[in-house]
Structure 1
Amino acid sequence: MPDLNKADEGRRFVKPGPRNLITDIKGLAVGQAEDARVRTGVTVILPEGRVTAGVSVMGGGPGTRETDALDADRLVEEVDAIVLSGGSSYGLDAAGGAANWLGARGRGFQMGASPKVSPVVPAAILFDLANGGDKDWGEEPPYHALGRAACQNAEENAAKGRGQAFALGAAGAGLGALVGTARGGIGSVSAVTPDGLQVGALIAVNAFGSAFIPGTQQFWAAPFELEGEFGGRGWPGDMASLSALHPFAGTKAAGAVPPAPGSNTTIGVIATNARLTQAECKRVALMGQDGMARALRPIHTPVDGDTLFVLATGEHELPAGMRPLALAALGSIAADCVARAIARGVYEAGK
């Protein structure tokens, strides 16, 4: 955790990890699977073992699975994987595919002497049904198979060792994504502090709002960029008052048909090597939502399904005597990571 007695030194405490990806955090693998014909895909975040998790849902039109199980007063505190998927409500099947894959390998919650485990696989979906792909799948949408394939890909990536790379931009759950009037996609970044705290984010960006300052190709998240990770385009020097801008400038509202509830969404995962309780994971998820507000305008609208999960692998102890402040610093870093990951996903998709 950054030295709280030197807070005025700010960002010099934080730098990207070796690959600047969520997989810089030890014990996490990412797997992705796509169906190019349908123009959709699935992204799975797969930990080595069960990890503590929390969630924050702030969009007006969310599509989720097992988020209620992550409340701090519930039986289960740990999860086996997180699934992000395209496909709107059909995409929730991807978590079923992932759960079957995990269960077949004996990975899940064990209740007493039960002969079978119950994999805990929270999930969130985004809307990509109107992106032009072939959605004539009848009674067999592709998401169950894509969920299994993404898990298999994650296992293969994990075998490559710590910090494995994965595709950004138009890949996985972000294959058919749009953000405002631009292409959306998968973005990921990481941040480390001198004492070994690690934070990462992986975001699938399909927002109603825009990631760009109207009339430019410069990102709202520009002040949070590290080491040119989304092009180093900077901030407009002649920026007028933000309050003077039309709230829908550059958004999907510019189209002829108004967007329907649930037809957008920014979903993702924050991960840290800190040891956190489930309630603390929830607090970090809530703080992480501020990163969306730094990178997208507008955000948390009635037609978005914005959802953030938090995973805590538990290898790094926060200082006991200053835990609330340490958690506040962690949440602030997480919010910055979310903003960075959003812009990076859009940048990579537009290359």
Structure 2
Amino acid sequence: MDSSKKINLPIIFLISTLTAPLSWAAANQQDSLKPRINSKSERSLNYDWPIIKVGTGSYEEGPTGVTVFHFDRKVNVAVDVRGGGPGTVNAPYMDLGYDMAELDTVVFAGGSWYGLEATTAVATALKDDGLRDGDAFSLTPNIAMSVGSIIFDFGARRLNEIYPDKRLAQASYRAAKTGSFPLGPHGAGRSAVSGGLFGCNAFSGQGGAYREIGDIKIAAFTVVNSLGAIVDRKGKIAACYQGEGWPEKIDIAELLAKFPDNLTDWGDDQQQASSKNTTISLIVTNQKMSQAELKRLATQVHTSMGRGIQPFTTIFDGDVLYAVSTAELEENTMSSAVLGTVASEVMWDAILSSVPEQPKHAVANNRLSLNKKHLNKLTGEYTFSEFAQITISRDSSKLYAQATGLRDVFAIGRTTATELIPVSKNVFMVPGRYPLTLSFETTDELIINPGKWQQTARR
């Protein structure tokens, strides 16, 4: 045997033995998840358009999710793909430009490439439920057509690799309803963020807007997970965790004018830009449009989004926009250029509506004194996932945290212990640019950043 091809069986056996439990644990965690479907929202878009049904689902343990747009009958679709890292299903087929109503559903999902499973899962659900079959060769094809895109919601933003799978996608599709669309951290936008280029790292989500002009209807839906910042019509950044040395008030023009030197001048040494970002969008009109007009609508609206997200479509973004015509309005009552202009404004409204209320920093209680016996009860190792663990230790009357897994736990690193500042008896915080709160719910459960984006560890 060639010595260069010799296999060291003991080493391979050892590696497989060590990694098997981790792989099994990850798979077991995914299988035990319970879908949360069409959960209540603090803010929702209400629209009057029965042909569009929307279903949203999430795995709160992620958190991550999926958003399914289901049209009651087949419709026409075009797509515009930009940015350096798009993840899509059936995009090349749409670009062929067949002037035929074939689309059933548009699916948005978290989970990066793994989330693409959600799109094909909805297509098979259409067939399994008897709404579509395998006949693709009749004059009116009845085979299910589902298109979709994904966002990257792993990495530093959460401490696990849970993804929206087939079960979650099909449950969301089957629960789809018309008239209401939850805004903010729901569905595919459950763990979306924006503004990483500037270190803003603000929470984002999914947004929607609806407008009627005479008989024309226009609806815009988007999941904003952008490297750039979300910007309003006055040039103000909608949400951003600013660096300590930033001016109190800053607009996007000032920020970009001397970028990136100004961040250095402001003493910004905590910039944490994600290299994985995406904004995925859908624009729908009831006016009948040719395939060429629909493609131009997709291009025009997608281009306009560069006003509401700055910068847009960078090499680190995988931006995709779908344009759909339901063709319910046969008469061409508005030129495609005018329709595109109005739709662009509706999309900007949708972008702005994606921004939820941002978590606030906890306030330290400098007068609080905790006894050592109580602090001892909180010490130990807590596990978030197979690769994220944290060790809580006590030194005198102070509590410390240190990441002991394969990754840091937000601002809590693996090289040195981080002091936890008490807020109350069982709640602590870590000062810094981004809110970091640790709440000991029981003697065996630790929650980081309690609330909509919490991460739970158990001892």
Shift of 1:278: 2.3
1:185 aligns with 2:208: no
For the 8 Å contact 2:71–2:104, the answer to whether it is kept is yes
For the 8 Å contact 2:287–2:332, the answer to whether it is kept is no
- Which residue among 124, 143, 150 is the counterpart of 2:165? 143
d(CA) in 2 for partners of 1:239 and 1:36?
33
1:89 aligns with 2:113: yes
1:102 aligns with 2:126: yes
User: Of Structure 1 and Structure 2, which has the larger fraction of its residues in strand?
Assistant: 2
1:338 aligns with 2:347: yes
**Cα deviation code 1:285-317 (max 9, x no counterpart):** 101113321111100100001100011111123
Residue 309 (structure 1) aligns with: 322
Amino acid at match of 2:351: I
For the 8 Å contact 1:51–1:311, the answer to whether it is kept is yes
Using a 3 Å threshold, how does the CA distance of structure 1 residues 248 and 176 change in structure 2: closer, same or farther?
farther
d(CA) in 2 for partners of 1:63 and 1:248?
33
Amino acid at match of 1:332: T
SS at match of 2:53: strand
d(CA) in 2 for partners of 1:170 and 1:122?
22
Using a 3 Å threshold, how does the CA distance of structure 1 residues 218 and 72 change in structure 2: closer, same or farther?
same
Using a 3 Å threshold, how does the CA distance of structure 1 residues 75 and 200 change in structure 2: closer, same or farther?
closer
Shift of 1:74: 4.3
- Which residue among 68, 83, 97 is the counterpart of 1:59? 83
- 1:1-351 pair list within 5 angstroms: 21=45, 23-74=47-98, 77-108=101-132, 110-112=135-137, 117-130=142-155, 131-135=157-161, 141-154=163-176, 157-158=177-178, 164-180=179-195, 181-193=201-213, 195-212=214-231, 218-219=237-238, 244-246=257-259, 258-260=273-275, 263-319=276-332, 326-347=335-356
For the 8 Å contact 1:86–1:127, the answer to whether it is kept is yes
Amino acid at match of 1:189: A
Shift of 1:249: 8.3
Amino acid at match of 1:204: V
d(CA) in 1 for partners of 2:220 and 2:95?
21
Shift of 1:113: 6.7
SS at match of 2:119: helix
Which deviates further from its counterpart, 66-75 or 284-293?
66-75
d(CA) in 2 for partners of 1:175 and 1:189?
18
TM-score, normalising length from structure 2?
0.58
For the 8 Å contact 2:78–2:97, the answer to whether it is kept is no
For the 8 Å contact 1:59–1:305, the answer to whether it is kept is yes
d(CA) in 2 for partners of 1:207 and 1:239?
15
d(CA) in 2 for partners of 1:217 and 1:64?
31
For the 8 Å contact 1:54–1:285, the answer to whether it is kept is yes
Shift of 1:344: 0.6
Using a 3 Å threshold, how does the CA distance of structure 1 residues 98 and 240 change in structure 2: closer, same or farther?
closer
**Cα deviation code 1:178-206 (max 9, x no counterpart):** 0111001010001111x211111010010
Taking only aligned residues, the RMSD between alpha carbons, in angstroms, comes to 3.2
SS at match of 2:353: helix
| Structure 1: stretches of 5+ with no match in the other structure | 1-18, 159-163, 221-235
Residue 4 (structure 1) aligns with: none
Higher relative CO (Cα under 8 Å, sequence separation at least 6) belongs to 1
Amino acid at match of 2:224: V
**Cα deviation code 1:216-248 (max 9, x no counterpart):** 96549xxxxxxxxxxxxxxx8998667625279
d(CA) in 2 for partners of 1:264 and 1:168?
19
Identity %: 32
d(CA) in 2 for partners of 1:87 and 1:53?
24
For the 8 Å contact 1:201–1:337, the answer to whether it is kept is yes
Using a 3 Å threshold, how does the CA distance of structure 1 residues 118 and 198 change in structure 2: closer, same or farther?
same
| Structure 2: stretches of 5+ with no match in the other structure | 1-42, 196-200, 240-248, 361-459
